[in-house]
Structure 1
């Protein structure tokens, strides 16, 4: 028998989902953003292929090789700041002409 001991597993959070709708709601995906960690420990707010800037503007995410220093400064954050931006942004999301408020009020037909 070997004396090699298995190290204790570690747990690292790399993604959050932020939404004003319950996860099981049939329109939840339309009103949900993710806050995700990259390989360097920086966080971004995503909605599909779009990434949120510090100014609150959604833009397509460039490949890691196409990112400029300016892009990184305005789209990559600390975990705390990215979660805060997501929480402020989510109540204002629209899917077509609908808002989460309207969907929750039953105007989602």
Structure 2
């Protein structure tokens, strides 16, 4: 996709620029490496806080434009519940179904993580408790 001054759009990636210029493979014959972000850390506690990881939701890339919303070993489901991933015993169909029920598109995953982060608890200890205990 190319853009002109009167046609706003997204900026071209370096890969697209190289392809447009005909530079898709370097002279070594080894393709250029790709860089992909694969996760986010979502927390109401500041970086360096002792309890930050206890009260952190992670959004992890799960492949095929799907993102998992996780808290420790638990995954958030499309049904709105935290669940542990079961052992699928090499049942690819069951694993695919479970993954579909526990992954989201990028924007939905980040929205859910932001909504869930303030609600996390650990043995009755809340985000508010952790913040209040900060010296």
Give the TM-score taking structure 1 as reference length. Answer: 0.81
Q: Give ranges in structure 1 of 5+ residues lacking alignment.
A: none
Equivalent pairs, count: 104
**Residue aligning to 2:45:** 21
Contact 1:43–1:77 at 8 Å: present in 2 too? yes
Pick from 54, 72, 81: which aligns with 1:57?
81
2:127 equivalent among 100, 104, 107: 100
Q: Secondary structure at the match of 2:63?
A: coil
Unpaired runs of at least 5, structure 2: 1-26
* Distance change (3 Å), C-alpha of 1:67 and 1:98: same
What is the Cα deviation at residue 63 of structure 1? 5.0
RMSD: 2.1
Match of 2:59 in 1: 35
Q: Deviations over 1:23-61 (max 9, x none)?
A: 210000110011011233311101121100123211012
Counterpart check, 1:85 vs 2:125 = no
